[in-house]
C-alpha cells in the first residue's frame, strides 16, 4: 500500500474516530474501533474457538484502534497486548480503551519467544506483502499449542480487479500453505456469514458520519473513502470474501 493510502486508512481515520467517539459517548467506541470487518458474531466465534478466558494474554497483531481487543477484554476478561505500527491508531486505542499498545511491525515483534497465550490478527494479512514473515513471528511469540484467531480477506479467484491500493489478497489455498509453513495447524475455518446487528452498525455509522462532517475535505479522508468504496465493490461482486480461521501453534 502506498504510504499515504496506508496512513490515511490506518492512522488518520482511527485518530479521527477516537475524537468522534469522545463526542458521541463510550458505547460507540467498540463498534467504531473494529476496523477489520469483524462483527460481534465473528469476534464471538474467534473467542470461543481460541477458548479465551480471564487472564489469558491475548496479543492482537495489527490491532488498529483496539476495538476487537477491547471487546475480548470486556466479554472474556482477557489481558490484551496490542501491537500496531501506526502511531495515531495506537494513541486512539490508548485514549478509547486504556489498553497497552506496543508500537511495532508484526514482522518484528518485540516480545519474548513463547510469551503470549493466544493471538489474533484481524483484517491485517491482506495488507502485508510478506505474510510468511508475520506468521512466523506470531508463531515465535506464542506458547506451543496456543491458539491463533485470524480474520482474512480472501481472493475467491486468481485475480482481484481492481485491487485496492496495497492489498494482496491470498486465496484460501495460499493461506493454508502459509499457515502450515509458519508452523500452524488449522483446526477449523468458516466463511463469515452474519453481519452485525443494527445496535452495532448504527453506532459505527454515527461515528463515521461525525468523522465525515469534520474531515470530508481532507485529502486523507478522500483517499480512505476511495479505498472503502473499492472494497465494497469487490465484496459485492463476490471477488473477495471474509474467512475466519482458528489455528494452533505446533512446537517449533
Ligand atoms: C483493516 S485494519 C484492522 C485493524 C484491527 N485489526 C481491527 O480489526 O479493527 C489493518 C491493520 O493492520 C495494521 N498493519 C498493517 N501492516 C502491518 C504490519 N506490518 N504489522 C502490524 N500491523 C500492520 C494497520 O496499521 C491496521 O491497523
What pLDDT, on a 0 to 100 scale, did the predictor assign at position 36?
77
As a whole number, mean pLDDT of residues 47-66 equals 98
CA 61 to chain centroid, in Å, comes to 8
What mean pLDDT comes out for the span 226-252?
A: 92
Could you tell me if the CB of 67 is within 6 A of ligand 1? yes
Question: What is the b/e burial string over 142-171, where b = at least 16 CB atoms within 10 angstroms of the residue's CB?
Answer: beeebbbbbbbbbbeeeebeebbbbbbbbe
Q: Look at residue 240 in the predicted model and tell me its pLDDT.
A: 94
**Between residues 187 and 6, which one has the greater pLDDT?**
187
**One-character DSSP codes across 41-66:** HHHHHHHHHTT--TT-EEEEET-TTS
Q: DSSP class of residue 125?
A: G
Q: What confidence score (pLDDT) does residue 1 get? A: 54
| Pocket flag, ligand 1, residue 101 (CB < 6 Å) | no
> Which of 82-96, 124-138, 164-178 comes out lowest in average pLDDT?
164-178
Single out the residue of 120, 117, 74 nearest to residue 96, CA to CA.
Answer: 74
> How many A from CA of 63 to the centre of ligand 1?
6
pLDDT tens per residue across span 147-187:
999 999 999 987 777 777 777 899 999 999 999 999 999 99
Structural domains in the chain, sorted by start: 3-249 (3.40.50.150)
Q: Does 127 contact ligand 1 (Cβ within 6 A)?
A: yes
**Which residue's alpha carbon is at the smallest distance from atom 10 of ligand 1?**
124
CA atoms lying within 13 Å on the CB side of residue 252: 11
Amino acid at each position: 500500500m502506498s504510504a499515504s493510502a496506508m496512513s490515511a486508512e490506518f492512522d488518520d481515520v482511527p485518530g479521527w474516530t477516537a475524537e468522534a467517539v469522545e463526542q458521541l459517548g463510550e458505547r460507540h467506541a467498540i463498534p467504531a474501533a473494529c476496523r477489520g470487518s469483524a462483527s460481534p458474531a465473528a469476534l464471538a466465534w474467534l473467542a470461543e474457538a481460541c477458548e479465551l478466558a480471564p487472564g489469558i494474554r491475548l496479543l492482537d497483531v495489527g490491532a488498529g484502534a483496539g476495538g476487537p481487543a477491547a471487546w475480548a477484554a470486556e466479554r472474556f476478561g482477557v489481558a490484551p497486548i496490542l501491537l500496531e505500527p501506526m502511531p495515531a491508531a495506537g494513541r486512539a486505542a490508548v485514549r478509547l480503551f486504556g489498553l497497552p499498545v506496543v508500537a511495532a511491525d508484526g514482522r518484528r515483534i518485540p516480545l519474548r519467544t513463547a510469551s503470549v497465550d493466544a493471538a489474533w490478527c484481524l483484517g491485517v494479512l491482506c495488507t502485508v506483502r510478506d505474510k510468511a514473515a508475520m506468521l512466523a513471528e506470531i508463531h515465535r511469540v506464542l506458547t506451543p499449542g496456543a491458539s491463533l484467531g485470524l480474520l482474512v480477506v480472501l481472493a475467491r479467484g486468481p485475480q482481484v480487479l481492481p485491487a485496492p491500493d496495497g492489498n494482496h489478497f491470498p486465496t484460501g489455498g495460499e493461506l493454508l500453505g502459509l499457515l502450515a509453513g509458519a508452523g500452524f495447524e488449522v483446526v477449523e475455518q468458516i466463511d463469515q456469514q452474519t453481519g452485525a446487528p443494527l445496535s452495532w452498525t448504527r453506532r459505527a455509522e454515527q461515528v463515521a458520519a461525525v468523522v465525515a462532517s469534520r474531515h470530508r475535505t481532507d485529502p486523507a479522508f478522500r483517499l480512505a473513502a476511495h479505498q472503502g468504496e473499492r472494497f465494497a465493490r469487490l465484496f459485492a461482486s463476490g471477488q473477495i470474501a471474509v474467512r475466519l480461521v482458528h489455528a494452533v501453534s505446533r512446537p517449533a
